Amino acid sequence: MSGVGGSADRSLPPLVDPVSELSAEERARYSRHLLLGAIGDEGQRRLRAASVFVVGAGGLGAPVLMYLAAAGVGRITVVDDDEVDLGNLHRQVIHSVAAVGRPKVDSARDRLAELAPEVRVDAVHARLDALNIGSLLEGHHLVIDGSDNFATRYLVSDACEIAGIPLIWGTIDRFRAQLAVFWSRPPAPAEAVTLRDLYPAPPPAGSVPSCAEAGVVGALCGTVGSMMAMEAVKLVTGAGRPLLGRLVLMDLLESTNRTVTVRPDPSREPVTELPDGAGDVSCELPDPGLPEVPTVSATDLAAELAASGPTGSPGRPDAPAPVLVDVRGAGERSIARIDPSVWVPLDSVAEVAGDPTGVLGRAAERGPLVVYCKSGVRSARAAATLSAAGFPGVRSLAGGIEAWTRDVDPSLPGY
């Protein structure tokens, strides 16, 4: 990334050849597009001929899908392996309360059928991996990535680089967002730029909180998703100047927006193949530099808590109850928590551990520490820190509070 600035305005040729003509109904429906010189009749016919692959039917995918369908894109494929949850609805506006528990792709397909029944929508309820992504991308003109985890973003980017398909990419975090277009084989004289030119590798696990951990304002999803849909319209029709080679950085809380130039890294080795096997596309990637720490399952921890007491159960005075340490953020803890537990946010664990009279030192006097977070990644980092600081027998709750909610206490709300 070269820094703030830009290059000479440069449009790209249309990505898609147009269909021969529009129907009378389509002319009426898209009349406002036909009035635009940059789109017009020919551009609308290109949209009608376009096939767009959308990754995710969540926060970004919701507005992307609705505006693509409303724009008259002929074929949309949406892939997502998740189901609609009540906590999705403040930002995933394509879904409704009635859709809670349904696959997101099915809910999205039904909503798009109401909005634009002439648009073909292929709903794929599956997890993208290195084995299926290549065949799923076949026949599509471009990809829009609305996924919420680094593993999927890099998988999609690498697959698009190999296939030479343009990729519209966006990420959101609380009130901030990033947006760009990547393309490994754009028409000359445009330079090829991919996600790995901007960010060569995913960040270490736990270093960047997910939306489920940090939160996100719903209106941000609408803003960024609409911009991603607009980038698709520009690429398909040849209108305007797409964001290829540029990165938009926005902060809705501060009402700021700036664009920086992204250039290819000449030292980077091109991606030519995906790793064998399905790969890990979980929301948090394992950290290869993190020492292995002992873990305990939710059901085993519940059994230990039931069988032990603060001073040991009858006949087992040497078996004090485990003491739980919550290393999540304050917002997460306000939604759901395992009681009783000590709260020490991850970024303060090392400092608190250095004080033998602090809350962690006092907690360790009562029993062995079991650290938990949302899914088990941050708790593993915290457990490693505590073990290195001399705390004995520290374990991490495998699967975090998600596993506890699923296997022990379903009454806790998910997030």
Q: Which 3-state string (H, E, C) describes the chain? A: CCEECCCCCCCCCCCCCCCCCCCHHHHHHCHHHHCCCCCHHHHHHHHHHCEEEEECCCCCHHHHHHHHHHHCCCEEEEECCCECCHHHCCCCCCCCHHHCCCEHHHHHHHHHHHHCCCCEEEEECCCCCCCCHHHHHCCCCEEEECCCCHHHHHHHHHHHHHHCCCEEEEEEEECEEEEEEEECCCCCCCCCECHHHHCCCCCCCCCCCCHHHHCECHHHHHHHHHHHHHHHHHHHHCCCCCCECEEEEEECCCCEEEEEECCCCCCCCCCCCCCCCCCCCCCCCCCCCCCCCCEECHHHHHHHHHHCECCCECCECCCECCEEEECCCHHHHHHCCCCCCEECCHHHHHHHHCCCCCHHHHHHHHCCEEEECCCCHHHHHHHHHHHHCCCCCCEEECCHHHHHHHHCCCCCCCC
From its phi and psi, is residue 118 left (phi > 0), alpha (psi between -120 and 50) or beta?
alpha
Active-site choice (160, 221, 283, 373): 373
Our answer to whether residue 283 is catalytic in this structure is no
AA letter at 15: L
Q: In Å, how far are 35, 124, 128, 200, 282 from 80, measured between CA atoms?
A: 35, 7, 8, 25, 13
Active-site choice (160, 211, 221, 283): 211
Our answer to whether residue 211 is catalytic in this structure is yes
Instruction: Supply the residues annotated as catalytic.
Output: 211, 373
